[in-house]
Structure 1
């Protein structure tokens, strides 16, 4: 770690339990951020600021005016541009030491597994079940930790899934009913709440990468922002889970 890095990350290095070793681990790590919307925006910004050395940003959408109420990595000048491009430029301005790869495409199952295998951790900020299920399956196949977040209206949640350590995967908790999740275009969403949940996802990602503290692995943190009630629920692995369960006959 050079002198500029020691200065840039000095306040973070002072955190008990993180120290120089944790910062060096962050600098050497690779993370995939799926979705650069209300959740992925603070995730990408805070991981870049924290010095997570290599980010892979995946999103095929372009910036729209309705995005700017909550998707803080994009600006008015980015309207019509690919979200991956505007996010890459914003990260370069924030911390040019972070290496950024962009994937402005719909990830097929096979490609997604390849991408996940090349990183150390995945943070999912997508807004539909199809993508969440695909990302989870790829994480299970590759043995990678998954930090999942979701926000709708005034409700938010964060969880860490570590089936590689014997815990549940996303599919253990959420059944594939074939129904799509409600979107913010249908029910609305409070912008600052996406910032809260995305920031918590970034916190959990840093903790998992560095081994700092106790992560949310096997737990679901739920918030009702209207009343500011927070709950932490324990999650169990489903032995019959079609993704991480034991195959029949074994």
Structure 2
């Protein structure tokens, strides 16, 4: 069973919510107490793009009470092949606003906090510590390292995902906690201690991506986020799930804690995120 995320006290469900979530309520692993935990949970989604889209929609449908979305980009027509939280009428609008509108249409009981900004070393830890679980849907290596480091310092569980043209990867990182053997869980830097040189990794604009592959990975991230919030099942901490769409195959690899890694190793060289920053944040109250 999962270690339960540090979520606020359970929130009472309304009559409408009981009707909406009744397929959850009959699951013995969820039930009323679990659904109340989901309503009390605060999840931050990094990026409202291909991965962030299914994460946002499935978490909202599941009844996560507060969803934060950070992104500084605007919706473009070529996003719509894979970024399913957006639609044609929202082209040109901020992605966080488009995602908020989609979530409101799907589930008005969910509070969406929009952060129209780029995550930086100056604002990352402050933003991340406002939430219980972080789902990383970013599309660049620099942000992935930043998110991983900030989650470690803020002691927040990170559900990570990444995609290639026909493949994808998911893992959960919580190196601030220890496994059953008393060792820290691995961090992103246990997999990749240092970022590759700039320009060595192509992005999807350069090599392309099959849109539905992004949906598969984002949906798995949403599932793992819900499992972490509920404290059920076996999560992906210490494991890397790899999906190969062309061969229709999933594989899982064990990932161990690296005592030499620069973040959470025995002699860390990364000891803080510097600075502070003003960030635009729209908040709301849970409706319904």
TM-score (norm 2): 0.84
Alignment correspondent of 2:265:
245
**SS class of match (1:163):** coil
Alignment correspondent of 1:172:
190
Alignment counterpart, residue 236 of structure 1, candidates 249, 253, 256:
256
Q: Compute the displacement of 1:177 (Å).
A: 2.4
Tell me if structure 1 keeps the 8 A contact 2:190–2:261: yes
For residues 121-173 of structure 1, give each alpha carbon's deviation from its aligned partner in whole angstroms, at most 9, with x where no partner exists: 00001010100000001100011000000111101111111102220111111
Tell me if structure 1 keeps the 8 A contact 2:227–2:235: yes
CA RMSD of aligned residues (A): 1.3
Q: Say if 1:248 and 1:139 are closer, same or farther in 2 by CA, change over 3 A.
A: closer
Alignment correspondent of 2:218:
198
Higher relative contact order (CA 8 A, sep 6+): 2
Q: Compute the displacement of 1:2 (Å).
A: 1.6
Q: Compute the displacement of 1:178 (Å).
A: 3.0
Alignment counterpart, residue 155 of structure 2, candidates 137, 143, 148:
143
Alignment counterpart, residue 5 of structure 1, candidates 14, 17, 24:
17
TM-score (norm 1): 0.97
For residues 32-65 of structure 1, give each alpha carbon's deviation from its aligned partner in whole angstroms, at most 9, with x where no partner exists: 1001111000000100110000011011011111
Q: Which runs of 4+ in 1 moved over 6 A?
A: none
1 CA distance for matches of 2:162 and 2:24? Answer: 27
Alignment correspondent of 2:77:
65
Q: Compute the displacement of 1:248 (Å).
A: 6.1
2 CA distance for matches of 1:198 and 1:15? Answer: 23
**SS class of match (2:242):** strand
**SS class of match (2:59):** helix
**Structure 1 portions without partners, runs of 5+:** none
**SS class of match (2:122):** helix
Tell me if structure 1 keeps the 8 A contact 2:261–2:268: no
**SS class of match (1:45):** helix
1 CA distance for matches of 2:139 and 2:268? Answer: 32
Q: Compute the displacement of 1:111 (Å).
A: 1.2
1 CA distance for matches of 2:216 and 2:102? Answer: 20
